[in-house]
Amino acid sequence: MASAGPPASIASIGVPTETKRDEQRVALTPDGVRELVSQGLEVRIQAGAGQGAGLDDDAFATAGARIVDREEAWAAHLVVKVKEPQPAEFGFLRPDLVLFTYLHLAAYPEVGRALLEAGTTAIAYETVQLDDGSLPLLAPMSEIAGRLAAQVGAHLLERPHGGRGVLIGGCTGVRPARVVVIGAGTVGWNAARIATAMDAEVFLLDRSPQHLRRLEAQRQGRLTNLVSSRGLLERLVPSADLLIGAVLLPGDRAPTLVEEELVRRMKPGSVIVDVAIDQGGCIATSRETTHTDPVVTIHGVQHYAVGNMPGAVPFTSTEALVSVTLPYILAIAGRGLVEAVTERPELVSGLNTIDGAVCHPGVAKALGVPNRHPMACLH
- Calculate mean pLDDT across residues 349-374: 92
pLDDT single digits (tens) 300-354: 999 999 999 999 999 999 999 999 999 999 999 988 899 999 999 999 999 999 9
**Residue 36's pLDDT band (boundaries 50, 70, 90)?**
very high
DSSP E strand boundaries for the chain: 12-15, 42-46, 66-68, 78-80, 98-101, 121-124, 178-182, 201-206, 223-227, 242-245, 271-274, 295-298, 301-304, 351-354, 357-358
| 274 flagged as catalytic | no
Which has the closest alpha carbon to 53: 281, 235, 315, 290? 315
Percentage above 90 pLDDT, the chain: 87
Q: What is the pLDDT of residues 185-231, one digit of tens each?
A: 999 999 999 999 999 999 999 999 999 998 988 888 899 999 999 99
Strand arrangement, sheet containing 271-274: 223-227, 201-206, 178-182, 242-245, 271-274, 301-304, 295-298
Mean pLDDT of 116-136: 95
pLDDT in tens, 234-250: 999 999 999 999 998 88
Q: At what angle do helices 139-156 and 314-335 cross, to 10 degrees?
A: 160
Model confidence at 297: pLDDT above 80: yes
Average pLDDT over residues 23-32: 97
Q: What is the DSSP letter of 162?
A: T
Residue of 22, 77, 104, 206 marked active site = 104
Please pick, among 252, 274, 278, 355, the residue that the annotation labels catalytic: 278
| Integer CA distances (angstroms), 25 to 31, 151, 369, in order | 15, 20, 32
| Band of pLDDT at residue 8, cut at 50, 70 and 90 | low
Contact 201, 226 (CB under 8 A): no
Q: Give this prediction's pTM.
A: 0.90
Q: What pLDDT score does 334 carry? A: 81
Cα–Cα distance for residue pair 192/367, rounded to 1 Å: 32
**79 neighbors 97 (Cβ within 8 angstroms):** yes
Q: Look at residue 61 and give its three-state secondary structure.
A: helix
104 is an active site residue = yes
Q: What is the pLDDT, as a whole number, of residue 250?
A: 82
